[in-house]
Amino acid sequence: KKIILLLFSSLSLAFRHDYAQPSTKNCTEEWFMNLIDHFTPDYPPVHYKQRYFAYDHYWTIGNPIFFYAGHEHDVELYVNTMGLFWERAEKFGAMLIWAEHRFYGKSYPLGKNYTTQDLRYLSVEQTLADYVRLVSLIKEKRGSPDSAVISFGASYGGMLATWMRLKYSDVIDGAIASSAPVLSFQTKVPGFEPNFFAQGVTRCITQKGGVATDWCEANFRQAFAKGRLAEAGTTAQGRQALSEAFSLCEPLPDDPETGWDLVYWVETALSHMAQGNYPYTSSYFMNGRGEMPPYPIIKACDTFLADDLMATCNEDPTALCPALYEGIASFVGVYYNNSEKLACNDIYTHLEKESTSEHNMLWDYQCCTEIFQAFGQDGIRDVFWPAPWNATSEAIRCENKYAGILPDMDWGIASFGNPDHWKRTTSNIVWSNGELDPWAGAGVMTNLSDSLISIMIPQAAHHLDLMFSNKRDTHAVRWARNFEMAHVLRWIDERRKKIKNWTATTHAR
């Protein structure tokens, strides 16, 4: 049974956002000497400085610890944006911990000068062990061994939060995993759809995604699936038309393949706008460089692509169609030129300040070794050009790039099992997905048991439920947050009852 939304009736957990939004300025930045390798003994042990942020204003000994599993960015991004943590700290008397993922931000196990061979320490297993050891240190340091620990995470962080509960249930009492594509690489799970992301992005530009007409989808289908943009790049006249329509700072190079550079640039904007399709102005997917408007996909579709832009163009896909190019250019301008101050576009410069070659390489390495996510598209059930998922060719790419390293295609199931295994062996996880989030198709979409719960949040994009409350939030996401925290409250009570029973049994002996 697919869960659209589960409602929790208690309003006592609701939060009024009536003060300035907290950030890293309200926390203490701390460092922990963690092991570089948790699984191979070194004598003496070799450590590295791992960064984390802590907030304990409302916490006392015995109270819970909310642990955010940092993922593939500087952890400060999550301290400053994951507001559910902040907003419920007082109600629960919780200590808040945000841990930084090894190799990202400022947590470098081997400094900045590492080799491909050194990246063997960049693994999920090492990261989970980092986090569990950090939790143990904090409990010991604060003299609170009986505190319940709840892991939270969004996206890859939601995967980590899930895996912490699966692998270290003696340490983690429950997990809230938002927009966690934990099934994105488990292609052997029955019914898995490798084109999930492309189909999810496509849904956002249809009436099901809140767009006014079907023309937005139709226009993108012409641009991508029918090859209008790429085809235009094959001729000098077409490249000139594209350069003018997209107001490029430099004309497209004299190369028939450069049309694809523009295609990928447009696709990046579309996918980021789909993930960040929030009901309010947000800079989350901009990393601080500007802001996208509320529901950016809806605004861009309804403003620039709401009509048939092919009406004045030849149906032959090799024929030029300036009206289509200009409409698509205006659409992506909502993302790239959000300030409306750019005089021209440079398609070879990334917008996000963390889209560096190093950051991309680190994440690509993780995807080439363990998190071997399936991404395909067919141009039929999605608007993109046909590119079926091919695990073999992707594995060859990884092998060539990383000196013979091959993906472990069975790693996910071998390490953590599959949903059928989880429902027999695990408890206390809530997976949430947003109806507008392209990643939802690779998340847990059904309840596995009474304590392994899946919720689908209408009109919500990527991990909206973990973000700060906003007056433009829908009732659905407010209810979802309350529902999640009701489960957190139950898990904390369960922990306290266990401690009480253990204590009573010990004294009886």
The total of structural domains in the chain comes to 2
Sheet holding 452-457, edge to edge: 28-35, 47-55, 95-99, 65-69, 149-154, 174-178, 429-434, 452-457
437 is catalytic: yes
Contacts of 217 (CB under 8 A, 6+ apart): 202, 205, 206, 211, 383
pLDDT at 331: 98
Q: Is the same domain home to 278 and 391?
A: yes
Q: Catalytic: which of 38, 462, 463, 487?
A: 462
pLDDT at 17: 40
Q: Is the same domain home to 397 and 446?
A: no
Angle between helices 236-245 and 258-275 (to 10 degrees): 30
Pairing assessment for the beta strands 47-55 and 28-35 based on DSSP bridges: antiparallel
Q: Where a domain ends, among 352, 372, 401?
A: 401
Q: Where a domain ends, among 380, 401, 422?
A: 401
Does some domain include residue 13?
Answer: no
Q: Is the same domain home to 357 and 240?
A: yes
Q: Where a domain ends, among 401, 429, 448?
A: 401
Q: Catalytic: which of 147, 155, 243, 282?
A: 155
Percentage of residues in the chain having pLDDT higher than 70: 93
CATH of the domain at 355: 1.20.120.980
Does some domain include residue 325?
Answer: yes
The chain-wide mean pLDDT, for the chain, equals 91
Residue range 67-85: average pLDDT? Answer: 95
Residue range 1-22: average pLDDT? Answer: 42
- Please tell me which residue, 360 or 322, carries the higher pLDDT value: 322
Q: Is the same domain home to 126 and 213?
A: no
Q: Catalytic: which of 130, 437, 465, 473?
A: 437
pLDDT-based confidence at 227, cuts 50/70/90?
very high
pTM: 0.93
Does some domain include residue 219?
Answer: yes
**Residue 16 pLDDT > 90, yes or no?**
no
Q: Is the same domain home to 44 and 77?
A: yes
Contacts of 442 (CB under 8 A, 6+ apart): 181, 182, 183, 184, 196, 197, 373
**Residue 188 pLDDT > 80, yes or no?**
no
User: In this predicted model, what pLDDT tens digit does every residue of 85-115 receive, in sequence order?
Assistant: 899 999 999 999 999 999 999 999 998 888 8
Q: Is the same domain home to 132 and 217?
A: no
Q: Is the same domain home to 390 and 357?
A: yes
Q: How far apart are CA 3 and CA 141, in angstroms?
A: 41
- Please tell me which residue, 14 or 26, carries the higher pLDDT value: 26
User: In this predicted model, what pLDDT tens digit does every residue of 242-300 receive, in sequence order?
Assistant: 999 999 999 999 999 999 999 999 999 999 999 999 999 999 998 667 899 999 999 99
Q: Is the same domain home to 359 and 459?
A: no
Q: How far apart are CA 503 and CA 484, in angstroms?
A: 29
What six digits make up the tokens of 230?
């790429």
Q: Is the same domain home to 162 and 215?
A: no
CATH of the domain at 483: 3.40.50.1820
User: In this predicted model, what pLDDT tens digit does every residue of 121-160 receive, in sequence order?
Assistant: 999 999 999 999 999 999 999 999 999 999 999 999 999 9
Is there a contact between 200 and 441 (Cβ–Cβ < 8 Å)?
Answer: yes
Q: How far apart are CA 134 and CA 131, in angstroms?
A: 5
**Residue 436 pLDDT > 50, yes or no?**
yes
Is there a contact between 300 and 336 (Cβ–Cβ < 8 Å)?
Answer: no
Does some domain include residue 17?
Answer: no
Q: How far apart are CA 332 and CA 224, in angstroms?
A: 14
Q: Residue 124, class by beta-carbon neighbours within 10 Å (0-12 exposed, 13-18 middle, 19+ buried)?
A: buried
Is there a contact between 431 and 454 (Cβ–Cβ < 8 Å)?
Answer: yes
Residue range 412-429: average pLDDT? Answer: 94
Residue range 450-472: average pLDDT? Answer: 97
Q: Is the same domain home to 323 and 295?
A: yes
507 is catalytic: no
The domain containing residue 125 runs over which residues? 24-188+414-508
Q: Is the same domain home to 69 and 170?
A: yes
pLDDT-based confidence at 509, cuts 50/70/90?
low
Q: Is the same domain home to 217 and 331?
A: yes
155 is catalytic: yes
